Amino acid sequence: MTDAPFHIGFVLFPGITQLDFTGPLQVLHRLPGARVHLASKTLDPLPSDCGLDLVPNTTFDACPQLDLICVPGGFGVDDAMRDAAVTGFLKAQAEAARYVASVCTGAFVLGAAGLLAGKRATTHWAYHGDFATVGAVPVKARVVRDGAVFTGGGVTAGIDFALTIAAEIAGEDVAWAIQLSLEYDPAPPFDSGTPDRVPETVRSGVDARYAPRLAAFREALRDAGFSPSDS
């Protein structure tokens, strides 16, 4: 990595899961030469999924060419997939960006912009059944790379994704140092981070809570021109 600025952009829209965004942001802003651009249609504050408003610092029109562009997920992807301003910005930036990335269901916005066609990629576990709909080759993993496309799984996987791409950009020593400075040493109290390791009673309860959300999401996919699984 040279001394030249490295332009990192996050696409913001209403209804983002804030940790999808703030986890990678906390890692990537520490890269040498990083210049962070929080891009949206306007500079108006945007509500996240947990009461924390997010404030863009540039508009799509004013944003410079990015070296890395990342799309977080959240319930707001329903509208983002159908928003020509969002997908148009992604398409234009991706033409010259060194890296195109997403966290969680933000991958579907990349797909809606035509940027995952034939690409191995990951997303939140609950949405894998519909992932191929937007052209992706689904891979169940925390972080997946296919060429210049990096994708992270659900929510907390965004930190793993960010450290992975930090090592690619600036070298492993830098990534190690960032991880140490953040004291990122996960030791969760429960072994329930994936559906394969939880009791059936827990999994069935979570599936039931996700059912209406997935129904709304699949309707948004249809509106965006895709054909979801309805499974």
**Is 50 annotated in the active site?**
no
Tokens describing residue 62: 């004013």
- d(Cα 49, Cα 65) in Å, to the nearest integer? 28
- d(Cα 88, Cα 82) in Å, to the nearest integer? 11
- d(Cα 94, Cα 52) in Å, to the nearest integer? 29
- d(Cα 212, Cα 162) in Å, to the nearest integer? 31
SS3 204: helix
Partner residues linked to 37 by β-bridges: 9
User: β-strands 120-121, 137-138: how paired?
Assistant: parallel
What is the number of other CB atoms lying within 10 angstroms of the CB of residue 93? 24
- Residue pair 70/106 in contact (Cβ under 8 Å)? The answer is yes
Residue with token string 């492993």: 172
Single out the residue of 91, 155, 82 nearest to residue 117, CA to CA.
91
- d(Cα 134, Cα 123) in Å, to the nearest integer? 12
- Report the catalytic residues: 104
